[in-house]
Structure 1
Amino acid sequence: MSHALMTRFRSLPFYLVAVLLHVLFLLIFGTYTVSEKSATVITQFTAPEQKVAPGPPPPPPPPPPEKQKTTPVQTATAKSMAPRPTMISTPLPSAAVVIPVPAPVPQMADMGKSLAILPKNFAVSSIYAARVNTQTRAGAITRYGGGATKADQLEGAVYRALNWLQKNQNPDGSWGGSYKPAMTGLALLTMLAHGETQTSKQYGETVQKGVQWLMDTGRKNKNVFASQHPEYQHAIATYALAEDYALTQIGDLLTVLEGAVEKIVVSQCPTGAWEYGYNNQMTRPDERPLGGDLSISGWNIQALKAAKNAGVKVKGLDEAMRKALDFTKAVYDDKTHRFGYTKKGGGSDGLLGVGILSMMFLGAGDSKEARGAIREASGRIKCDWNKGNEGSSYVWYYVTQAMFQGGGSYWVSWNREFRDTLLKNQMPDGHWTVPGSKEDVPPADAKWKQVANPKDSPIYHTTMLCMMLEVYYRFLPTFK
């Protein structure tokens, strides 16, 4: 990679290359039937009757891959392949579980907006089943988090973070400062991961205002949520809107959501990657031979998978996901078991988690690439707060999801490490600072080369780290 390109990467806001880099859904084995007799939810949407069906804070970009000489691609041998980790299996209920729809949120009546009635019956992907209420979350934490003794601690930390996010929402419904679409998307994803939607008694109005801000922003800009770094911001916002639609089926969301997904699909490079500015013209073949990079592509893959899980129908969606898998495999190195940034070779710790999770979301979680990378990650990446930096939240976020979905001994070890680290280092008010520091915006020095935006940094790190603590119930471990 040229010196000029490396300089350009370092100058990018740390949040943008990570964001800026989730969430994840894959094989849908069953559905849960949601029913309600007549719950009217006051929202800012009018649902058509026929509709049923996350200076720098943007995430720290992973460190540029080390420059290495290109080596011929070698076929992985049985010796070079990672042992197949034992997958966690979660038996799904044989009968549909009735999930009660909460009563309308009283405060929302004061918003003076139109009524939207949740469909009387709609299918929610079973992958979201564990997040729906206190009992299912506690059960998942007990099973995957290390026992019932940790459930209260983990949920307490999550509630403190959600309360902090609620208090730090902007008056217009957004979050953050310089990168509102991405920060709003990340905050909503954190709420939704805990099962909080527009019907939530405690956080319903907060979610409603955030979703409405995204909807208004999209409508003003032809269903594109950001003009600045859309490759990250638009993808994250789309991801959040898709999850909200999957959990509520509010019809008014669909038009903007379909347009947002279409933007991602048509912006994909022929190779299956995504590029800065959604430029798919392959304009830098020497520096970026596959047209884009894995960091950017990871967020767009998550957005497409969320849309797929929500039942969104957009021309080219399945083909885009197939091409994305081809790209992810193309940057994997069989010798090092690492994923490259723009091509095979090099890579960074941050890209290990991105690559693994992308493979899982795209139906290849049991592939030799995913298994090899999981073994590599388990031997290299540590969740050590004191040694952390701006990029650590990004790395840990992806690795946590990858290890959880991989299961086995890799997950047991990583769970104990990250869980205790985050519980110990959460601030009393519920947010997290930059790993390695007790300040939201550490002073620039030899260690802190980037000075984060004070409005975005605490939102970014709090959402990314909180979603790690929600991993036990955010998605059932059914990726294979």
Structure 2
Amino acid sequence: MTLLLAMLLLPQSLLAQGEWEITAESEAALEIGLQWLAENQGDQGNWESNDLGLVGMGALAFLAAGHAPGRGRYGDVVQKALDVMVNEAKPTGLLNIADPQRDLYNHGLATFVLGQAHGMTTRTDRRLNTTLDRALQLIAHTQCEDGGWDYRARRQPRGHDLSLAVMQAKALRSAMDSGLQVPPEVVDLAITSVRDHYCPRDGKRGAPEAEQQQQPGQFTYTKGGGGGTTAMAAAGVVCLQEFGQYEDWRIRKNMEVITADISQLPEAKRRDGSMPFDAYTLYYVGQALYQVSGDDWRTHYPKLRDYLVASQLRDERNPTNHGSWYDRGARGGGRVGGKPGQLYATSVACFILAIPNRYLPILQEGKIESLRQN
């Protein structure tokens, strides 16, 4: 029985673990957000974007809400987006048609989404399977010697930064969720790379672990300790959780960073399309809370959810904006502007609001066996 059919047989109470996770307001916000995405997809299915990662994010919003090819009101929307990614895949397996400096960003995100789609469909799609298989091979072949990845699709001694490593690591886990084989040595190196980006507050990365555990610290953008942001803290947590490293002490250190930042968020005061964090940060923060679960999820997820509900743009006379968000955090800042930013932010917001539905394979309950490292 496929994963999708198994989910359909589960009581709704098992798919959403409590009324507190989903409110009538958050359901309405999600539906209006998906409607905006559907109405703005365009005939080509790519939301007028050449970034396959953004196209993938658009598809992910619908998948997270239970829509898949052949299933749900927006199944055709998902199919069109998947077709774009499959049709634009290069013979090498690379999923990027934009600037080569975005090779592995777009590739990792698009591969992750294809893996989730593969695990949610009940019908065989040979083109999707072939594209996904080649995409995974490219990730394995371009892994750098230290376990990370470069911006360009090439193998070299050192990877560039944590954001790239996590993008590819999530793509690998997505494939595993769909029953595909991933070389264990690639996963092992990826976990090592993520751990190597942890830095204690005093900067002594080479100190014994017992000593590092006695002080605050977090994952950073570079291995030298630079770029200690909430986004990187959350991204590192998500990666370790998804590869079964549940007892890694670095997870709690980084969750302290994440939850402290959430606690300082202001409330949304008007429907200005803003987000609690910029879209990139929110994407990982929401997943980190869910993956760690427990009090972290129960205490802090409602703050993200309710902010998005309160800030969503609502103006039925203006379909250009009605139901959307912009890549603009509550305290300022964003990474993607204009129409692409609106697509990115709305996709991420819908994804965050849909997490409690647990439709995505990556969000299924239960722990996986630790992969190689402990």
- TM-score bin, normalised by smaller chain: 0.7 to 0.9
Deviation at 1:390, TM superposition (A): 10
- 1:251 matched to 2:125? The reply is yes
Residues in 1 aligned to 2:25 and 2:337: alpha-carbon distance in whole angstroms: 30
Report if the CA contact (8 A) 2:327-2:337 is conserved.
no
Report if the CA contact (8 A) 1:269-1:292 is conserved.
no
CA spacing shift, 1:391–1:146, aligned 2, 3 Å:
closer
The equivalent residue for 1:430 is 323
Name the % identity.
Answer: 25
Deviation at 1:172, TM superposition (A): 1.1
The equivalent residue for 1:396 is 282
CA spacing shift, 1:397–1:280, aligned 2, 3 Å:
same
Report if the CA contact (8 A) 1:405-1:477 is conserved.
no
The structure with the largest alpha-carbon Rg is: 1
CA spacing shift, 1:141–1:435, aligned 2, 3 Å:
farther
Report if the CA contact (8 A) 2:265-2:276 is conserved.
no
Look up the SS of the partner of 1:259 in the other structure: helix
Structure 1 unmatched runs, 5+: 1-32, 34-121, 283-289, 438-446
Instruction: Give the alignment partner of residue 198 of structure 2, picking from 300, 309, 332.
Output: 332
- 1:472 matched to 2:360? The reply is no
- 1:308 matched to 2:172? The reply is no
Residues in 2 aligned to 1:191 and 1:152: alpha-carbon distance in whole angstroms: 18
Deviation digits for residues 126-157 of structure 1 (CA, Å, limit 9, x no counterpart): 7xx4xx59963x764451x616xx43222221
Residues in 2 aligned to 1:430 and 1:272: alpha-carbon distance in whole angstroms: 40
The equivalent residue for 2:49 is 177
1:124-273 correspondence to structure 2 within 5 Å: 129=7, 132=8, 136=12, 140-141=15-16, 143=18, 146=20, 150-179=22-51, 181-218=52-89, 220-227=90-97, 228=99, 229-248=102-121, 249-252=123-126, 253-273=128-148
Instruction: Give the alignment partner of residue 294 of structure 2, picking from 386, 408, 422.
Output: 408
Residues in 1 aligned to 2:91 and 2:132: alpha-carbon distance in whole angstroms: 13
Deviation at 1:159, TM superposition (A): 1.2
CA spacing shift, 1:191–1:235, aligned 2, 3 Å:
same
Look up the SS of the partner of 2:70 in the other structure: coil
The equivalent residue for 2:153 is 278
Report if the CA contact (8 A) 1:178-1:453 is conserved.
no
Look up the SS of the partner of 1:456 in the other structure: helix
Matched residue type, 1:319? E
CA spacing shift, 1:364–1:125, aligned 2, 3 Å:
farther
Look up the SS of the partner of 1:325 in the other structure: helix
Deviation at 1:325, TM superposition (A): 0.6
Report if the CA contact (8 A) 2:328-2:334 is conserved.
no
Q: Which has the higher contact order (CA 8 A, sep 6+)?
A: 1
Residues in 1 aligned to 2:37 and 2:10: alpha-carbon distance in whole angstroms: 20
Report if the CA contact (8 A) 1:295-1:341 is conserved.
yes
Residues in 1 aligned to 2:278 and 2:109: alpha-carbon distance in whole angstroms: 19
Task: Identify, as 1 or 2, the structure richer in helix.
Answer: 2
Matched residue type, 1:455? K
Matched residue type, 2:196? A
Report if the CA contact (8 A) 1:393-1:435 is conserved.
yes
Deviation at 1:365, TM superposition (A): 2.5
Please give the root-mean-square deviation of Cα atoms over the aligned residues, in Å: 2.7
Residues in 2 aligned to 1:385 and 1:322: alpha-carbon distance in whole angstroms: 41
1:5-16 correspondence to structure 2 within 5 Å: none
Residues in 2 aligned to 1:221 and 1:170: alpha-carbon distance in whole angstroms: 26
1:8-157 correspondence to structure 2 within 5 Å: 33=1, 122-123=2-3, 129=7, 132=8, 136=12, 140-141=15-16, 143=18, 146=20, 150-157=22-29
The equivalent residue for 2:204 is none
Deviation digits for residues 182-228 of structure 1 (CA, Å, limit 9, x no counterpart): 1110011111111211112411211111111111111x543222142
Deviation at 1:343, TM superposition (A): 0.5
Deviation digits for residues 9-63 of structure 1 (CA, Å, limit 9, x no counterpart): xxxxxxxxxxxxxxxxxxxxxxxx3xxxxxxxxxxxxxxxxxxxxxxxxxxxxxx
Report if the CA contact (8 A) 2:30-2:353 is conserved.
yes
The equivalent residue for 2:306 is 420
Matched residue type, 2:131? V
CA spacing shift, 1:422–1:135, aligned 2, 3 Å:
farther
> What TM-score, normalized by structure 1, do the two folds share?
0.63
Structure 2 unmatched runs, 5+: 200-211, 315-321, 369-374
Residues in 2 aligned to 1:448 and 1:154: alpha-carbon distance in whole angstroms: 24
Residues in 1 aligned to 2:125 and 2:280: alpha-carbon distance in whole angstroms: 33
CA spacing shift, 1:162–1:342, aligned 2, 3 Å:
same
